[in-house]
């Protein structure tokens, strides 16, 4: 199988949205009641954020079909000892369609994300690992930091 990897553009918004919806469905974050609302909000988010550069995505394609995706959200915190630049990236939207898993696609997409972060001077990359992705992230040098908490408003 030939697989091409490339940075997504504004022309890829529909594909990015479609794969994000597949991911959200798999993890149980989308149901029939909220599907349309989540789809529209997601599409609008990607239209704005891909255009202004605050979200970057990489696409894996085979025979013109998008089979995998990865994404980065960039933000800046005040500098600190572990990240003097303050520039951080959050990896999200890592998803490979089921028929194409186990072929190294997620690893290649992750490598694209990391390379882009290095080029931009990002000092810290973080993510939330799924059970399926955990070992890949460990192999790529990510370490556990279990101090995160959240408050849903």
Confidence (pTM): 0.90
Tell me if 32 is assigned to some domain: yes
| 3-state class (DSSP) for residue 121 | coil
Tell me if 79 is assigned to some domain: yes
Tell me if 152 is assigned to some domain: no
Number of domains the chain contains: 1
Tell me if 116 is assigned to some domain: yes
pLDDT at 41 (0 to 100): 98
Tell me if 144 is assigned to some domain: no
Quote the domain boundaries for residue 130. 4-139
CA distance 113 to 90: 10
14: domain CATH number is 3.40.630.30
CA distance 41 to 115: 29
Residue range 100-149, pLDDT digits in tens: 999 999 999 999 999 999 999 999 999 999 888 999 999 999 999 877 77
Tell me if 151 is assigned to some domain: no
Tell me if 24 is assigned to some domain: yes
Tell me if 128 is assigned to some domain: yes
Cα separation of the two ends of the chain: 45
pLDDT at 1 (0 to 100): 78
Q: Are 140 and 117 in contact (CB under 8 A)?
A: no
Owner of token pair 């979200």: 55
């Amino acid at each position: 199988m030939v697989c091409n990897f490339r940075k997504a553009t504004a022309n890829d918004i529909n594909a990015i949205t479609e794969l994000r919806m597949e991911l959200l469905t798999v993890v149980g974050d989308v149901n029939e009641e909220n599907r349309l609302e989540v789809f529209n909000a997601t599409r609008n988010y990607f239209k704005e954020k891909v255009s202004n550069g605050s979200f970057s995505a990489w696409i894996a394609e085979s025979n013109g079909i998008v089979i995998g995706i990865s994404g980065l959200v960039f933000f800046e915190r005040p500098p600190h000892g572990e990240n003097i630049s303050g520039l951080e990236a959050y990896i999200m939207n890592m998803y490979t369609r089921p028929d194409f898993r186990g072929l190294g696609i997620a690893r290649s997409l992750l490598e694209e994300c990391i390379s882009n972060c290095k080029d931009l001077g990002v000092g810290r990359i973080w993510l939330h690992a799924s059970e399926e992705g955990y070992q890949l992230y460990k192999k790529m040098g990510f370490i556990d930091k279990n101090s995160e908490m959240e408050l849903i408003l």
